[in-house]
Amino acid sequence: QKEVEQNSGPLSVPEGAIASLNCTYSDRGSQSFFWYRQYSGKSPELIMFIYSNGDKEDGRFTAQLNKASQYVSLLIRDSQPSDSATYLCAVTGGSYIPTFGRGTSLIVHP
Amino acid sequence: DAGVTQSPTHLIKTRGQHVTLRCSPISGHKSVSWYQQVLGQGPQFIFQYYEKEERGRGNFPDRFSARQFPNYSSELNVNALLLGDSALYLCASSSGRVPSYEQYFGPGTRLTVT
């Protein structure tokens, strides 16, 4: 059973701080890694994807992938109250079927 | 450009009934995937269709079926509804042939089974 693990949180950070969200996965053959943001009552919104080891930056977001350690993380710089949401990690492996984690709830307080 | 659209937005059904959910992908996208999301969980993969062919199937019973039309829109059908089928049903659109490509979700259909 392929698993994707996330701390459910909530992770609480002050406005302007860096929020660090982590995700571990069990399938060593995993190839594609995605971060989605989901506001309460809404559908997931794709914010980052990464395929290769290392860092990928897009605006205030940085995705970090370490395949040897089987983890992927998302850093949000200069966190804003509007970033308060659940962040879902999704991983696909050789079967190409995405497996989602349960999500981490992030609260950014003013 | 319009994003992924889904209909209806909300639906209430009784146990044992049948339901059909509809999805239109982003223009130019040929792949549609269906997911079920229950409260407090991440989305669970149900099906993926590409060019009208099933490309992936998740661990769901045969009561769940889907199809894709020539215009790339898709339907998800669920027969003999159970209380446990109550969930948010999400459609995701992708340009890729397999579900590992970046996917963009529609607003979802909230299904309540009573």
Mean pLDDT rounded to a whole number for chain B:
94
Residues of A with CB under 8 A from a CB of B: 4, 31-32, 34, 36, 42-46, 49, 88, 90, 92, 95-103
pLDDT digits (tens, 9 = 90+) for A61-94: 999 999 999 999 999 999 999 999 999 999 998 7
Partner residue facing A96 (CB), from B44, B90, B100 = B100
Partner residue facing B90 (CB), from A32, A43, A99 = A43
Cα distances (angstroms) measured from residue A39 to each of A25, A58, A64, A74: 23, 20, 23, 17
Q: Is B60 on the interface with A (CB under 8 A)?
A: no
Beta carbons of B100 and A32 less than 8 angstroms apart = yes
pLDDT digits (tens, 9 = 90+) for A13-67: 999 999 999 999 999 989 899 999 999 999 999 999 999 999 999 999 999 999 9
Q: What is the Cα–Cα distance from A44 to A80, expressed in whole angstroms?
A: 19
Q: What is the Cα–Cα distance from A49 to A27, expressed in whole angstroms?
A: 17
